[in-house]
Amino acid sequence: MLYPLFRPLLFALDPEAAHDAVFAGLDAAANIGVAQLIAAKAPASPVTAMGIRFPNRVGLAAGLDKNAAHIDGLATLGFGFIECGTVTPRAQPGNPRPRMFRLPEADALINRLGFNNDGVESFLANVARARYRKAGGVLGLNIGRNFDTPNERAVDDYLACLDAVYAHASYVTINISSPNTRGLRELQEHAALDALLVALKRAQARLAQAHSKYTPIVVKIAPDLDADAIAEVARTLAARKIDGVIATNTTTDRQGVAGLPHAGEAGGLSGRPLKERATAVVLALARELDGALPIIGVGGIFSGDDAREKISAGATLVQIYTGLIYRGPGMVAEIARALADDPVRAA
């Protein structure tokens, strides 16, 4: 309820500075127990997908907590699951600043962060310190390749990260769809995708035996694929028995923000302008997959109605990111409540 009062102050700061300030406050409030007392409560409305019981259908998309450094603070907001990353094998600074831009007239963001993170070793140290996972919280860990690893060796980076995070994750997301790492989206093309998935499934079988634990693998795809490419990706995911798909990442299209300040900045666009395209991708995947694997819908979700659209299109779960920045933490419980109160459409 207080977020609208603070938002002008935060929006006066550079987006990354505001991000750091918000997390410093959230972490402090969580550590002393205040956040748990004042946060809106999300209703219990469990759903099972990928063999995992999710307390509710609303998750945090990767990108907000790249280093898994704020898990317990985020857990106070009522999410049914939290996804951290993208993490790469080696630490890397990402792209030069400025690299994140608000477009408030469109409730949108453009970022070209470029997988800035402290590396998988530091990432896992943060995961190990978090109380959330130890208490049974659903935690997705999102992995990618380093910016200087060529696509011919990308599988090595994904396998290194999978080996590292496997035992600590509820599920692992394979990010092959960020527009901010040169050439990364080429891994969505059939031959490259199929080879990557074969290697990942082989590693998953080995790790499941070693850890006596099956950790699902999810693939995150771009919204900028055409209909034929979406169908081909869906068939490949189903053929290789991938456990889930996230639709979608950010878009390079600027149709919904043309003429606005910062609209010409390079990077991925998220927020309201992405909503219709992301929902269309969910719908196309659902038709092609026909229930073969669950879909996590993300892109332009700012309300319960927006989340219902993703569920009605074929998603089982949803994730939010940009809406949280524009509307504040109260929207988590609001959306969870909307989905829990509408069991027919959310079934």
pLDDT tens for each residue of 246-259: 999 999 999 999 99
Residue 345 pLDDT: 46
Contact 59, 319 (CB under 8 A): yes
Selection from 251, 245, 258 nearest residue 276 by Cα: 251
What is the pTM for the complete model shown?
0.97
Residue 226 pLDDT: 98
Residue 198 pLDDT: 98
Q: What are phi and psi of 74, to 5 degrees?
A: -65, -35
Mean pLDDT in residue range 66-71: 98
Measured distance CA(162)–CA(172) in Å, rounded = 7
pLDDT band at 1 (very low <50, low <70, confident <90, very high): low
State the catalytic residues: 178
pLDDT of 181 strictly over 50: yes
DSSP class of residue 215 equals: -
pLDDT band at 344 (very low <50, low <70, confident <90, very high): very low
pLDDT band at 343 (very low <50, low <70, confident <90, very high): low
Contact 115, 178 (CB under 8 A): yes
Mean pLDDT in residue range 210-219: 98
Residue 2 pLDDT: 79
Residue 341 pLDDT: 82
pLDDT band at 84 (very low <50, low <70, confident <90, very high): very high
Mean pLDDT, the chain, whole residue set: 96
pLDDT of 66 strictly over 90: yes
DSSP class of residue 117 equals: B
pLDDT band at 37 (very low <50, low <70, confident <90, very high): confident
pLDDT band at 38 (very low <50, low <70, confident <90, very high): confident
Selection from 136, 124, 128, 129 nearest residue 161 by Cα: 124
Structural domains of the chain in order of their starting residue, each with its CATH number: 3-340 (3.20.20.70)
Structure-block tokens of residue 234: 């869906």
pLDDT of 346 strictly over 70: no
Residue 216 pLDDT: 99
**% pLDDT > 90, the chain:** 95
